[in-house]
Structure 1
Amino acid sequence: MRNPIAVLLERLVMQPMWAQFRTGLESAAVPGSGGVLFLGDSITHIGRWDLMFPSIATRNFGISGERSGHLLERLGPIVSIKPHKIFILIGTNDLATKIKIEEIAANVAQLVDELVRALPDCKIYLQTVLPRANKFTARVKALNALYAEIAKQRRIELIDLFPLFDDGTGAIRKEVTNDKLHLMGPGYKIWRDAIEPLVLAA
């Protein structure tokens, strides 16, 4: 059973914030504008993809607090843009709840299936969840293993970010974060360098 205070906080604070972010994204989504779309939670949202990849059109569809199930609710604006590439990073907020990893993976599998069906010419990249504090390591690794299966079964590319941010114990490297979750500048540079060839490829 979830903490009632956490439930109240989500209803009073997080849900209105998600609605505001979604409304903003939907209003900014120009149908058919294409580009490279980054889809995820606050880790994606904070990233300045326009500055990291100034030579191409990027679309930041990250929303703070987003979980895997939420992504399924906002596919319309994503599909309408008709991006030619989508980079997905989602799941860390799910892991902070009691949601089973199998349910998270099922949401992501459905997300990928719907994107593939709606955007057959779009290249979709599924990225593994980043390390957090050690108490999350087992669940992060288990979820990432399921992500690898999703990518293999659907013949999309898996970008394994986890080892790039692992401090050797399964926790996130201290120099890339100040809260054991979100990335700072050095972390975004590592991420950028890892995906740059895929982002910029024709």
Structure 2
Amino acid sequence: MRTKILSGLLFAVLLSGCNFAEKQEVVEWKIQNDPYYKHKKSQFEVLSMNEKYTTMMLGDSITDEGQWDELLNNDKVQNRGISGDTTSGVLDRLNSISSNIQQVFIMIGVNDIMRGKEVDEVYNNYLKIIKTFKDKNIKVNIQATLYIGEKRKADFNPKIEELNKRLEKYASENQITFINLNPILAPQKVLKKEFTFDDLHLNGTAYKIWANEIKKYF
């Protein structure tokens, strides 16, 4: 009898555990929930009335880490990069574009791809970003998403290549500037070791090259 009672209790506990597991919701990762993103987005909103700046550098950590006013020797360039950002994250913060911005340099998409997003979704979000700026008569400069280094190239670089091809085609068809640093930084479709310490982010030499490449568009 005692064995039957214990067996019944054990079954009830297991059943309740199963029910609890079924009720647990899988929460999708979103950059919008990241504290760093929230803090930076909030700061950009507070600073959106600043009319000093005429050029925006927009993107993720690769943009965020650049000291753009010094690299370009131009104090009218604002940095609107957020580490970890994605195309959907950028879309959710385009309400803070300063009124005097005349042109934007965009590089975004690598985090989407590293998080498993399909190229179609990334590309469509990108077009929405471009449209937002075009609707405000802001000149758009699309910068190709950079290839990743040797360690993770097989996982992500094919999708990065596909995204870039589609963006370049769109830019050509819509009279938008397309800037591709990959032939310099990743001539073999892999980010060269001399330009990175972690196969993803850039060192000072790479930023100097980047800045020199885009100075001609000012």
Query: Please, what TM-score do these two structures have when normalized by structure 1?
Result: 0.86
The structural deviation recorded for 1:50 is: 1.1
The structural deviation recorded for 1:81 is: 3.1
Q: Which residue of 2 aligns with 1:33?
A: 52
Tell whether 2:162 aligns with 1:142.
yes
In structure 1, the residue corresponding to 2:34 is in which secondary structure?
helix
In structure 2, the residue corresponding to 1:158 is in which secondary structure?
strand
Q: C-alpha separation between the residues in 1 aligned to 2:181 and 2:76?
A: 23
Deviates more, 1:156-165 or 1:62-71: 156-165
Q: C-alpha separation between the residues in 2 aligned to 1:100 and 1:12?
A: 16
Tell whether 2:102 aligns with 1:84.
yes
Q: Which residue of 1 aligns with 2:17?
A: none
Specify every segment of 5 or more residues in structure 2 that has no aligned partner in the other structure, as ranges: 1-26
Q: Which among 70, 75, 84 is matched to residue 51 of structure 1? A: 70
Q: Which residue of 2 aligns with 1:124?
A: 140
How do 1:94-113 and structure 2 match up within 5 A? 94-113=112-131
Q: Which among 67, 72, 75 is matched to residue 91 of structure 2? A: 72
Structure label with greater radius of gyration: 2
Work out whether residues 90 and 129 of structure 1, in 8 Å CA contact, stay in contact via their aligned partners in 2: yes
Query: Please, what TM-score do these two structures have when normalized by structure 2?
Result: 0.80
Amino acid at match of 2:145: V
Tell whether 2:196 aligns with 1:180.
no
In structure 2, the residue corresponding to 1:81 is in which secondary structure?
coil
- 1:33–1:12 CA distance, 2 compared to 1 (3 A): closer
Alignment length, in residue pairs? 189
Q: C-alpha separation between the residues in 1 aligned to 2:32 and 2:180?
A: 33
Q: C-alpha separation between the residues in 1 aligned to 2:173 and 2:125?
A: 15
The structural deviation recorded for 1:12 is: 10
Amino acid at match of 1:110: K
CA RMSD of aligned residues (A): 2.1
- 1:152–1:174 CA distance, 2 compared to 1 (3 A): same
Where do 4+ consecutive residues of structure 1 move more than 3 Å? 10-14, 31-34
Specify every segment of 5 or more residues in structure 1 that has no aligned partner in the other structure, as ranges: 1-6
Work out whether residues 33 and 81 of structure 1, in 8 Å CA contact, stay in contact via their aligned partners in 2: no
In structure 1, the residue corresponding to 2:130 is in which secondary structure?
helix
Q: C-alpha separation between the residues in 2 aligned to 1:75 and 1:191?
A: 24
